[in-house]
Amino acid sequence: MGKYILMLSLLLLSPISFYSNAEAPTVEQPTAPQMSPEKQKLLGLPVYIRIIKEDKTLELFVKNQGGYKLVQSYPVCNYSGGLGPKRIQGDFKSPEGFYQVTMKSLNPNSKFYRSFNIGYPNQYDQAHGFTGKHLMVHGDCVSEGCYAMTNKQIAEIYQFIEYALINGQPEVDVNIFPFRMTEENMQRYSHNVHYEFWQQLKTGYDFFEKNRLPPTMVVNNGRYDLAPQGLLASNHTQDQRNPFAH
């Protein structure tokens, strides 16, 4: 009888012992970005994002004292599909082209920590019948067509974009290029199937390199073109005061 009572006691206690010793699942809680005082002073100023696929680099520019100046280059943790534009939903390819981020694009509660939707498909993509949705720049270093950053990186990038939008920038340009579009690189890829498309992207790339202002692009007959100069001037006229600087 005593043996049965002992066995029953062990059975009853075993689950309690098991759960009390089991480790609770841990969830990574990314820390807020430790931004330098110099960067903090730039929060709220207009922002421009440029991604270079071949370099796996995201560049953050801020408009300060005239033109846009490079604040930080971040290594892209991951992207999908190699060089060339995204065309079909499910092709696991990361887009190239000219996109915009608005306040509605921001997701502070993303399952990838922070994310912003780049706005694919844009007018050009739609004109060519390209399909896809929910193309983001986000954290967690995992990509199935998006541009993935580390959580620490996306926290800082996200904050710059959010503050710029709060301060009145209507949209943040996100320009995505396959490579740095120098004449040498264009020659290197001159036989690529995407070369004609890349020539259109180069127009915007060169505009920024020359003027240090994001290009305003329009779509004419299914092609990217620079907008008329009058529209460019009005698009880039903005109050440069920064209420967030300390």
pTM, rounded to two decimals: 0.81
pLDDT class for 236, splitting at 50, 70, 90? Answer: low
Q: What is the CATH number of the domain that holds 72?
A: 2.40.440.10
Supply 35's token pair. 């931004």
Residue 57 φ/ψ region, left for φ over 0, alpha for ψ in the -120 to 50 degree band, beta for the rest:
beta
pLDDT class for 65, splitting at 50, 70, 90? Answer: confident
Where in the sequence is the domain holding 208, given as residue range(s)? 37-234
95 domain-assigned: yes
Residues belonging to the active site: 138, 146
Residue 238 has pLDDT above 60, yes or no: no
Q: For 72-111, what is each residue's pLDDT tens digit?
A: 999 999 998 899 999 999 888 899 999 999 999 999 999 9
In which element (H, E) is residue 40 found?
helix 37-40
Q: What percent of the chain has pLDDT over 90?
A: 70
pLDDT: which is higher, 90 or 204: 204
CA distance 101 to 111: 19
Measuring CA to CA, how many Å separate 36 from each of 71, 155, 197, 245?
11, 14, 39, 12
Of 155, 152, 149, 162, nearest to 94 (Cα)? 149
4 domain-assigned: no
184 domain-assigned: yes
**116, 158 contact by CB (below 8 A):** yes
8 domain-assigned: no
Number of independent structural domains in the chain:
1
14 domain-assigned: no
pLDDT class for 22, splitting at 50, 70, 90? Answer: very low
CB-count burial class (<10 Å; 0-12, 13-18, 19+) for 8? exposed
25 domain-assigned: no
